[in-house]
Structure 1
Amino acid sequence: MRPGVSLRTKIYGLVITIAVIAFACSLWLSIDNTRTYLNEQMQSHAQDTATSLGLSISPYMDGNSPMVVETMVAAIFDSGYYLSMVLTDADGRELLTLENPVEIDGVPAWFIRYFPIQAPTQLTDINNGWQMTGQLAVTSNPGSSHDKLWRNARNNGYLSVFIGGVALALAHLILSSVLLPLHQLEQQAMAVTHKQFATITPLPSTRELNTVTQAMNSMVTNLQTSFTQMAMHAEKLSSDAFIDPLTKLGNRRAFENQFIAQVGEMQDNDLATLGLIQLPSLQVINAKLGYEAGNGYIRQASEVISQALAHRTSGTLYRTGGSCFFFKVASAGATVEELCNHLHEQFSALYSSHYSEGFANIIATSYDNKQQLNPLVSQLDNLLTRESSTTGTGLVYWAPEQESQLQHANGLHQWGEIIDDLLASNQVTFMFQPVLACEGNQTSENVLYFELFSQFLQDGIPLANSELYAMAELLNKSLELDKMLLQQLLTIGDFKRDVTVALNITHQTVHSAEFGEWLEEFYQHNASNLPTLVLEISETAILASIDSSIRFIQQVKACGIQVCIERFGSSFTSFKYLRGLDVDYLKIDGSYISDLDENPGNTHVIQAASQVGHGVGVKVLATHVENETSLRLLEELACDGVQGNFIQPTKKLAPYSEKKQCQYWPI
């Protein structure tokens, strides 16, 4: 709900108030004037009656004809227009008194109370010649006057209401023609805050509104043009630095940066997979058929591998040059081995005389967060060389010794049981890391929010998060894990006042209509017991369906929850997708930042991404800040927030009493 009272409400309120006041005043004056007229009419009528009746009875006031006098007075009095008649002699003695009760039928008591009519009494002297023989007092009956006054007021009221209704209807038509363009301008301004650039057509006919609307349309068009230009500039910088021009995949630099960033995010018991694919027939095809045919061969291989990885949200493919492809999967074990065997079978099916040395060769292995890239690549290269020789054993996935020590030997069925047990037991703990605000190109002490990292336990032993979530996505159980994490926040209960915390939401959850409905109900019942929330969504999940992501973000924002797109720029796609996404934060992918001190050329991409974010009113955050040099560069690039081990390493979320060497603490 938007704060404040709308202009429409104020104008209509003013018009109705003026109309009501004018109606009330007009009706009051009409009633008062009518009452004055009726009072004067009764006074005149009473005086005329007293005078004429006095002349009529004067010959009979000698005391000899009392019955004649009484008959004549009673004849006039019985008409009902008089409240009383009193006849006295010359000495003031009452000779005759006639009275009628005050009866006012059909007139509300409140009307009589607020608009009283005083019954006038008129006197006349009765003379017989030059001698005064008596006096007659006539008092009019106010009942009929009250009745006339009430009927007049009621009729005037009905007429006033009718005229007022017609006037308000005309005012509504006129005001609507004026307020509609203002409403359109308001919607246009709201759309801009939601990163949408809509223009108003047709233009209003009112001169002033026409001018304002044209100005707003021009401003919105300029904003859209500026955003498009910044997005294209950022896209070009990113493409030149990190995209293979032939396949549009990430190049060697992108591969190395993202590998380093991923290893930095892995927990001690996490394993991931790195695969190497080579095209052995590329050199022969280039020599015999030309480079265009060789390029077609590379593109075909890229499509085959990409399609196989498309079913795994955690899989990423790179072309590092020539005939060499690498792929990363954020899990290891049996399911990845199945993927490698599937690719090997596809490569074998594509083998023909056209590819004299074979279509493609594949080898993959798992790695942990202690693994260095160069030794791992050398190991894969040696394994692939061995398997490509005549002594090869057909190996496509090599499991090092550490893999057997973890849970990665589990198949999908076993992982399903593990996840079900987790959902039933709620065995999860949290780690946290602060995101500090940058103010005036300098890091402040203010915490934008604390990012929470989940750590699931099986019999007290931490599970590998990367493998767990990869399996949960395949089993369609990640939605339930996300619900569980939100519910677990309620059990913490002692967050600092006004603290904001962030949780990562999985791909499946973002595109689930069920979760939006569940979240609305959950937040409605538990908002007072929760800290302010930020939901972090990966760029990959957003790009999977922009329309679905927009609907999800709208549902989340309606609950008062903020949204952050994490790994911004990791997909090397156009930043134009931000248009229409009502998000609060963009967290630049760590691959641009982790080696910023060694590759200052990344600053151009970060600056361009920052300008794109600021161009649509979104705060830009930088993660993986590992040293002071990177921090100072990010401050100069006008980032709004920073996060990383240099700021504060990840800590276990525990009571404040257990705080150790930690400056920023959420509870």
Structure 2
Amino acid sequence: MTSLVYFQFTQARDFMSQQMESDLNNTMTSLGLMLQPHIETGDMVSAETLVNVIFEGGFYRKVTLKWLADGKEQIWENPVVIEGVPKWLINLDIFGVQKKKSIITSGWMQLATLEVEAHPGLGYQQLWRVMNDTIMILSLLFIISIFVLRYRLNYILKPLHDIALQAKEIGQRKFGQSIEMPKTTELKDVVGAINLMSGQLKQVFSSLDKEVSELKDDKLVDQVSHLPNRQYLSAQINNWLNEPGYGGLILAKFDWLEDIHSKYGYQGRDQIIKVLSERMQTELPDIAEGVIARIANTEFAFLLTKAEHHQIETYLQTLIRIINQEITKAGCIANSKFALGVSQRIVNMQPSDLLSQSDNALQQALKEGKISHWIDAQQPQKYSREQWRTKLVDAINKSHFMFQWQAVSDMHSDDIIQREIYCRLRIDDMVVSASEFMPFIELLSLGGQLDRCLLQTIEQQNILDLTHQPVAINLTHDSLQDPEFAPWLSRFLQQSKHAPQMLFEMPESALIHSFEQCHKLTEIIRSAGAKIGVDQCGRQMGSLDYLQKLQPHYIKLDQSFAFYEKLNQGNEMCRALINIAKGSNIGVIITGIENPQQLQQFAILRADGYQGYISAPEDISE
């Protein structure tokens, strides 16, 4: 554009200079011819009139007429004032001084001299108009070109934007869809390389997830029924009894499977076991949450982790119906050659106590020739259900909380990296532990109300001011599934001065079964500056792909890994799970550590911290 303006300027200047020079020559010739007869006769008035007519046209700055006979000189002069042209342009003196001088003669006699100086005004006006129009048109074209070019570049370079987004997601260990191959030849190689890298990394993390799943299948799953085995059941019973809960355990012995084995061989028996297992997995979980496991050739176990007495009864009746239907299909006699032993969880029960009671019930059923036998401990209840509701609601609303917290220590330096907060309730002037009241919180669906009041109390009492470490707060299943809890938590965190110090932990089971609700809640928590953790990670038998989607700040490995480690069978699974987390830049905390010897066994892994009875919870002083 600058070059075009320069060439247009020089051409316009040269053209106007030539025009002025040509006009000046013509004027000199014609004026000289017109003045000659008047000068010969000495008619000075007519001569001056002729010059005035030409001069008043404004095209000449100065006209000088000198009579040679008497030396008289007449001068006509215009000031250089040019309208519509800036002063700075005139001061550049682009056209200079153009003037012509001639002698008017009559034959051989010289009569007068005539000198005419051109006025540059017309040149400046024309030059300014041409340049003004040129610059305006070029500027308009330039602006239009910029917009067109920008639109075109955005279209051409759109893959670069996609590449940048994909690179950011790869940096956050998120591997989405491949970028569409662009039409721009120069970018095809770059997009192809990014897609290849993303695909390979996704494959790496998928293979790690598959490795964990295969290890679980190999060590924790029965290969015939595809149900969890005895080892997995033992770990889950241990976890369940170490946490607040309610439910029971059913042990089953299916001797009719031995008859199937005698008639049809192990292949026929295995096929019936598969069909029976599929039916149990399809129908029984709708009645109550639990674990169905095959613990021996003809023995099964049913751990009901959230079931009241009437739910256990319904579960038992449905189980008997399924078994009888499969017995009949196999050509055996219904209600024969199988027995079920049932026991229910009571306070402070140990895993050995629960298994012993269920086994005693099973042996009693076999001895008496019954289908089932139930050992009901008839544990005396402190309060009825409605009394529990009244007292819990009252204690929660009045913030009768008593807090403790437990340190989470660095795996290598023993520095405290965070604390996990626990609560107890004061009911009827007695301190009630979470293990006692949490089962009723779940039964009565009071988890959302408990979490709200607990968070408000922590904020009001400035408990987080008592430590500079982040503090982990567990969220209940009720809160995670309550659509009203998310907006409430958003408002709470916006008003809280401690939001960056809060760590919100979600159980793995909630993430697997209600991922969308949990994901929305994590976005709210992150936007407020708080962080997300996953509790009981690795407990469920499903895939760990939720870690890639959720990207929590840390995970807490389930206590079952510490249990497996006692059996010298958990290190491999633990290492694979840690590799998945570390590959996604997620911190790892090992839980259930009971003593320094057990800690030493986990020290070789790349975990960030540990937690357990090795450092007992401490009371929080107000």
TM-score, normalised to structure 2, is: 0.77
Q: Do the aligned partners of residues 351 and 448 (structure 1) sit closer, same or farther apart at CA in structure 2, a change above 3 Å counting?
A: closer
> What residue identity is the alignment partner of 2:608?
D
**Does 1 or 2 have the higher relative contact order (CA < 8 Å, sep 6+)?**
1
Q: Which residue does the alignment assign to 1:362? A: 342
Moved more, 567-576 or 147-156: 147-156
Distance in 1, Cα, partners of 2:488 & 2:162:
33
Q: Which residue does the alignment assign to 1:233? A: 211
Q: Which residue does the alignment assign to 1:502? A: 472
* TM-aligned CA deviation for residue 623 of structure 1: 1.3
| Contiguous gaps of at least 5 residues in structure 2 | 325-332
CA-to-aligned-CA distance 1:367-404 (integer Å, 9 cap, x gap)? 22xx4332443345446666887799986643435xx3
- 1:585 and 2:564 correspond: no
* Pick aligned residue for 2:301 from 316, 322, 325: 325
CA-to-aligned-CA distance 1:472-527 (integer Å, 9 cap, x gap)? 5555553444444454554327548984333223334445555455555554x347
- 1:283 and 2:255 correspond: yes
Q: Which residue does the alignment assign to 2:352? A: 374
* TM-aligned CA deviation for residue 593 of structure 1: 1.3
Q: Do the aligned partners of residues 115 and 193 (structure 1) sit closer, same or farther apart at CA in structure 2, a change above 3 Å counting?
A: farther
* Pick aligned residue for 1:431 from 373, 385, 404: 404
Give the alignment of 1:244-283 within 5 angstroms.
244-264=222-242, 266=243, 272-273=245-246, 275-279=248-252, 282-283=254-255
CA-to-aligned-CA distance 1:255-302 (integer Å, 9 cap, x gap)? 3333444555x4xxx5x335231336x225534775756984797488
Q: Which residue does the alignment assign to 1:29? A: 6
Distance in 2, Cα, partners of 1:426 & 1:112:
84
- 1:478 and 2:468 correspond: no
Q: Which residue does the alignment assign to 1:649? A: 616
CA-to-aligned-CA distance 1:305-328 (integer Å, 9 cap, x gap)? 885555656x44545444352525
* TM-aligned CA deviation for residue 354 of structure 1: 0.6
Would you say the 8 A contact 1:489–1:530 is kept in 2? no
* Pick aligned residue for 1:608 from 573, 576, 591: 576
Q: Which residue does the alignment assign to 1:630? A: 598
Structure 2 counterpart SS, 1:254: helix
Distance in 1, Cα, partners of 2:403 & 2:341:
41
The count of aligned residue pairs is 599
Q: Do the aligned partners of residues 351 and 103 (structure 1) sit closer, same or farther apart at CA in structure 2, a change above 3 Å counting?
A: closer
Distance in 1, Cα, partners of 2:610 & 2:260:
53
Distance in 1, Cα, partners of 2:398 & 2:36:
115
Superposition RMSD on alpha carbons, in Å?
4.7
Q: Do the aligned partners of residues 189 and 554 (structure 1) sit closer, same or farther apart at CA in structure 2, a change above 3 Å counting?
A: farther
Distance in 1, Cα, partners of 2:402 & 2:122:
87
Q: Do the aligned partners of residues 445 and 294 (structure 1) sit closer, same or farther apart at CA in structure 2, a change above 3 Å counting?
A: closer
Structure 2 counterpart SS, 1:535: strand
* Pick aligned residue for 1:169 from 134, 148, 169: 148
Give the alignment of 1:281-320 within 5 angstroms.
282-284=254-256, 286-287=258-259, 296=272, 300=276, 304=280, 307-310=283-286, 315-320=290-295
* TM-aligned CA deviation for residue 608 of structure 1: 2.0
> What residue identity is the alignment partner of 1:398?
A
Q: Which residue does the alignment assign to 1:535? A: 504
TM-score, normalised to structure 1, is: 0.73
- 1:410 and 2:385 correspond: yes
Distance in 2, Cα, partners of 1:422 & 1:344:
36
Structure 1 counterpart SS, 2:603: helix
| Contiguous gaps of at least 5 residues in structure 1 | 1-22, 656-667
Distance in 1, Cα, partners of 2:598 & 2:41:
128
* Pick aligned residue for 2:315 from 337, 343, 367: 343
- 1:103 and 2:73 correspond: no
- 1:145 and 2:124 correspond: yes
* Pick aligned residue for 1:563 from 532, 537, 551: 532
* TM-aligned CA deviation for residue 452 of structure 1: 2.9
Distance in 1, Cα, partners of 2:436 & 2:36:
125
| Structure with max Cα Rg | 2
Structure 1 counterpart SS, 2:140: helix
